[in-house]
Chain A
Amino acid sequence: MTQNATTRVGRGGILSSAVLLLLCAFWLLPTFGVLVSSFRAADDVRSTGWWSVFPHREWRLAETINPALDLDRSGVMEFAGARGTFEELRAGIMAPDGRRVIWVGNRRLGTVQVQERGWTSSNAFTLDNYESVLTGKQYEVTNAQGVKQTLRGDDLLAAFLNSLAVTLPAVLLPLVVGALAAYGFAWVRFPGRGLVFTIVVGLLVVPLQISLVPVLSDYVRLGLNGTYLAVWLAHAGFGLPLAIYLLYNYIAALPRELLEAATVDGASHLQIFRLIVLPICGPILASYAIFQFIWVWNDYLVALIFIGSQPKVQVLTMRLAEIVGSRGNDWHLLTAGAFISMVLPLAVFFGLQRYFVRGLTAGSIKS
Chain B
Amino acid sequence: MSTYGRSSPSWLKLALTLASALLALLVLWQGFFFLRDTDLPRLLTAFIAILGFGAAMSVLYVATDVILQQLPLELSHRLQPLPFIVPGVVMVGYFVALPMVRTLAASLFNRDGTAFVGFANYIQVFTEPFMLETFRNNLLWLVFGAGLTVVFGLTIAALADRSRHEKIAKAIIFMPMAISLVGAGVIWKFIYAFKDPSEPQIGLLNAIVVAFGGEPQAWIQLIQPWNNLFLIVIVIWLQTGYAMVLFSAAIKSVPNDLLEAARIDGAGEIRIFFSIIIPYIRPTLIAVTATVVIFTLKIFDIVLVMTGGQFGTDVIATQFYNQYFVNRNAGLGSAIAIVLLAAVVPVIVYNLKNFNRNEPL
* B131–chain A nearest beta-carbon distance, Å: 15
| Chain A contacts for B57, CB-based, 8 A | 176
Contact of A325 among B308, B341, B361 (CB under 8 A): B308
Contact of B305 among A164, A199, A324, A367 (CB under 8 A): A324
- Tell me the B30-78 residues at the A interface (CB within 8 Å): 32, 35-36, 42-43, 45-46, 49-50, 53-54, 57, 61, 64-65, 68-69, 78
Interface assignment of A5: CB less than 8 Å from any CB of chain B:
yes
Give A203 to B93 CA distance when docked, in angstroms: 10
| Chain B contacts for A86, CB-based, 8 A | none
Contact of B178 among A16, A49, A180, A342 (CB under 8 A): A342
| Chain A contacts for B45, CB-based, 8 A | 165, 228
Interface assignment of A51: CB less than 8 Å from any CB of chain B:
yes
Most chain B CB within a 10 A radius of its CB, from A8, A12, A181 = A181
Contact of B185 among A196, A274, A324 (CB under 8 A): A324
**9-residue interface stretch from A61-69, A72-80, A280-288, A313-321:** A313-321
| Chain B contacts for A184, CB-based, 8 A | 81, 84-85, 88
What sequence of 0s and 1s flags, for each residue 264-288 of chain B, a beta carbon within 8 Å of any chain A beta carbon?
A: 0000110000000000000110111
Q: Which residue of A lies closest to B284 (CB)?
A: A366
Interface assignment of B12: CB less than 8 Å from any CB of chain A:
no
* A122–chain B nearest beta-carbon distance, Å: 12
Give A367 to B308 CA distance when docked, in angstroms: 39
Q: Let me know if B348 and A364 touch, CB within 8 A.
A: no
Q: Let me know if A213 and B333 touch, CB within 8 A.
A: yes
* B87–chain A nearest beta-carbon distance, Å: 5
Q: Let me know if B186 and A365 touch, CB within 8 A.
A: no
Q: Let me know if A301 and B190 touch, CB within 8 A.
A: no
Q: Let me know if A9 and B178 touch, CB within 8 A.
A: no
**9-residue interface stretch from A90-98, A101-109, A232-240:** A232-240
| Chain A contacts for B308, CB-based, 8 A | 325
Contact of A207 among B98, B291, B298 (CB under 8 A): B298
Interface assignment of B237: CB less than 8 Å from any CB of chain A:
yes
Interface of A is mostly: helix
Bin the interface of chain A by size: 35 or more
Give A9 to B191 CA distance when docked, in angstroms: 36
Q: Let me know if A215 and B95 touch, CB within 8 A.
A: yes
Q: Which residue of A lies closest to B246 (CB)?
A: A364
Q: Let me know if A213 and B106 touch, CB within 8 A.
A: yes
Give A213 to B106 CA distance when docked, in angstroms: 9
Interface assignment of B96: CB less than 8 Å from any CB of chain A:
yes
- Tell me the B185-204 residues at the A interface (CB within 8 Å): 185-191, 193, 199-204
Q: Let me know if A209 and B317 touch, CB within 8 A.
A: yes
Whether A210 contacts B100 in the complex (CB less than 8 A), given A23-B156, A181-B88, comes out as yes
Q: Let me know if B305 and A321 touch, CB within 8 A.
A: yes
Interface assignment of A276: CB less than 8 Å from any CB of chain B:
no
Give A116 to B7 CA distance when docked, in angstroms: 105
* B119–chain A nearest beta-carbon distance, Å: 18
* A236–chain B nearest beta-carbon distance, Å: 6
**9-residue interface stretch from B18-26, B122-130, B142-150, B159-167:** B159-167
Contact of A211 among B83, B95, B237, B359 (CB under 8 A): B95
| Chain B contacts for A311, CB-based, 8 A | none
**9-residue interface stretch from B132-140, B222-230, B350-358:** B350-358
| Chain A contacts for B69, CB-based, 8 A | 268
| Chain B contacts for A141, CB-based, 8 A | none
Q: Let me know if A270 and B180 touch, CB within 8 A.
A: no
**9-residue interface stretch from A124-132, A145-153, A254-262, A343-351:** A343-351
Interface assignment of A338: CB less than 8 Å from any CB of chain B:
yes
* A269–chain B nearest beta-carbon distance, Å: 5
Whether A240 contacts B172 in the complex (CB less than 8 A), given A13-B162, A321-B182, comes out as no
| Chain A contacts for B287, CB-based, 8 A | 364-367
Q: Which residue of B lies closest to A30 (CB)?
A: B187
Interface assignment of A185: CB less than 8 Å from any CB of chain B:
yes
Q: Let me know if A236 and B46 touch, CB within 8 A.
A: no
Whether A33 contacts B163 in the complex (CB less than 8 A), given A165-B43, A196-B85, comes out as no
| Chain A contacts for B325, CB-based, 8 A | 305
What sequence of 0s and 1s flags, for each residue 319-361 of chain B, a beta carbon within 8 Å of any chain A beta carbon?
A: 0100011000010011011101100100110011011111101
| Chain B contacts for A31, CB-based, 8 A | 175-176, 179, 187
Q: Let me know if A320 and B100 touch, CB within 8 A.
A: no
Q: Which residue of A lies closest to B330 (CB)?
A: A213
Interface assignment of A121: CB less than 8 Å from any CB of chain B:
no
| Chain B contacts for A45, CB-based, 8 A | 202
Give A58 to B352 CA distance when docked, in angstroms: 63
Q: Let me know if A357 and B245 touch, CB within 8 A.
A: yes
- Tell me the A194-241 residues at the B interface (CB within 8 Å): 194, 196-215, 222-224, 227-229, 232-234, 236-238, 240-241
| Chain A to chain B: the 9 pairs with minimum beta-carbon distance, closest first | A237-B95, A184-B84, A181-B88, A298-B180, A194-B361, A349-B178, A214-B102, A165-B42, A190-B81
Spell out B's residues near A (CB within 8 Å): 32, 35-36, 42-43, 45-46, 49-50, 53-54, 57, 61, 64-65, 68-69, 78, 80-81, 83-85, 87-89, 91-92, 94-100, 102-103, 106, 152, 155-156, 158-160, 162-165, 169, 171-183, 185-191, 193, 199-204, 207, 237, 240, 242, 245-246, 249, 263, 268-269, 283-284, 286-288, 290-291, 294, 297-298, 300-301, 304-305, 308, 317, 320, 324-325, 330, 333-334, 336-338, 340-341, 344, 347-348, 351-352, 354-359, 361
Spell out A's residues near B (CB within 8 Å): 5, 8-9, 12-13, 16-17, 19-20, 23-24, 27-31, 33-34, 37, 45-51, 161-162, 164-166, 168-169, 172-174, 176-178, 180-181, 183-185, 188-190, 193-194, 196-215, 222-224, 227-229, 232-234, 236-238, 240-241, 244, 252, 268-271, 273-274, 294, 297-301, 305, 313, 316-317, 320-321, 324-325, 328, 331, 334-335, 337-338, 341-342, 345-346, 348-350, 353, 357, 360-361, 364-367
Please give 12 more A-B residue pairs, beta carbons under 8 A apart, in addition to A49-B202, A188-B84, A345-B180.
Answer: A13-B162, A34-B190, A165-B45, A203-B96, A237-B91, A240-B88, A300-B180, A300-B301, A321-B182, A331-B193, A331-B202, A335-B190
Q: Can you report 18 residue pairs joining A to B where beta carbons are below 8 Å apart?
A: A8-B268, A12-B269, A17-B164, A20-B159, A29-B204, A30-B191, A34-B186, A49-B201, A162-B42, A180-B84, A190-B81, A201-B351, A211-B99, A252-B359, A269-B84, A300-B300, A301-B317, A366-B287
